[in-house]
Every structure is written in structure tokens, then in C-alpha cells.
Chain A
Amino acid sequence: SQQGEEDPQALSIQEGENATMNCSYKTSINNLQWYRQNSGRGLVHLILIRSNEREKHSGRLRVTLDTSKKSSSLLITASRAADTASYFCATGGIYNTDKLIFGTGTRLQVFP
């Protein structure tokens, strides 16, 4: 069963605006990861946040993790048209037999 659920399913913004995507999950995790997928391409890893971290930054990306609410958010600041893509969260379980579970993604459209 899917672990991560992204919200919203689709988001349209203008260049320069900030984009926020949310991910909720159901069980205890070791880490939560965000990936980007351009149309028809493979996924690219963006950032990994471990369960004992609350916030992480990478360039224009800011990820927060609230393990008490079992949720994470991805903020892309000053969006560019090139940020247009689908964004997926994926959760890594606490047992080494767990698999990385991907959500259904948020489709982001950034208009020039």
C-alpha cells in the first residue's frame, strides 16, 4: 500500500512565486526523501531528511519534517519555469527489510 500521500495533486504558479508541497505518511520512518521527475524521465533525488531532523535546506529547497504529525513539506522558493515537474516523496522504514515507498506525486507547473 502507498505510504506517502502528496498534497496538492497539482499546483500551478507564476515564476518567482514559492511552491509548497506536502506529504503525509502512516508509519514510523527512518527518513523521508523528495524526488523530482520531468515528464517521461527518471526520478532525480533532491533531498533526504532523517527522522531526527526537523528542517533541511538545499539551494532553493527547504524541507521540513514533523514526525508527530507524520508529515513533511517541500518548499521551492523563487520558482522558475525549469522547476516544472512532478515531485514525489518517499519514505524509508525503520527496519532494514523495509522498502522505499513512493507517494503519488504533485504535478507542479511554473508559468513564465
Chain B
Amino acid sequence: DGGITQSPKYLFRKEGQNVTLSCEQNLNHDAMYWYRQDPGQGLRLIYYSQIVNDFQKGDIAEGYSVSREKKESFPLTVTSAQKNPTAFYLCASTIGLAGASAIPYNEQFFGPGTRLTVL
């Protein structure tokens, strides 16, 4: 089955801890994204990556970090610097063109999400 997976489904963090959310896709997509969704709200872009070993900040990157060492994987680390990390985190991917952004032009495929709660 082709798709995009996220783990874990639920994550609990103590204040001051860093946690890493996993996102893996086997769709052979170049571009991957991390969004944050708060209750009753739309999605806000945290980070995105158009190609391996390259990524850009989205609208709310402060307190988060990412890496893109493999095409299939785009993990997100929520650091202790993120003051209000409790939220639903969604990873997505889309077909891209190497060396060019396809972000606004194509449909995005989403993972099932990770719900992070700070205790």
C-alpha cells in the first residue's frame, strides 16, 4: 500500500522535554510538509522540504526543528522552546519537481496525525 504514515498516534511530553514525531512516505514524493492544527482551527505550516537535505521555515517554525536526510522521511522535533506545543500535528507530501517548488500547484496527501499533549 502506498501512503504516508505518522507515529506515534498519541504522544505525551513533560515540560522541558524535546520530542520527535515521525513521518514516512512511500509515494516517491519530493515535497513534504508539517502542519499544526489547533481545536476548531485550520492548518498552519511549520516547515516544508522540497528536496532531500533542504527545508524551509513555514509560518510558525519557532520552537520546532526538522531534518530531511532521506526522501522518504521528514521527522519533526518539538523542542522545549515551543511554549504551547499541545496540538494535532499533520504531515503531508506532494509530487514535486527536483529543483522547483510544486507546493501551490498539486494536491497534498496527509498522514493520520499525531496528537501531542504536554503534561
Interface residues of A (CB under 8 A from B): 2, 4, 30-31, 33, 35, 40-45, 48, 88, 90-100, 102-105
Contacts and interface: CB of A to CB of B under 8 A. Distances in A.
Interface of B: 6, 35, 40-45, 48, 58-59, 88, 90, 92, 100-113, 115
Given A42-B90, A42-B113, A43-B90, A96 B107 contact: no
Nearest to B97: A96
B103 A98 contact: yes
Interface of B: prevailing SS: loop
30 contacts: A2-B42, A30-B104, A31-B104, A31-B105, A33-B108, A40-B88, A40-B115, A42-B90, A42-B110, A43-B92, A43-B110, A48-B106, A88-B43, A91-B104, A92-B105, A92-B106, A93-B104, A94-B104, A96-B101, A96-B103, A97-B101, A98-B103, A99-B45, A99-B48, A99-B58, A99-B103, A100-B104, A102-B35, A102-B42, A102-B44
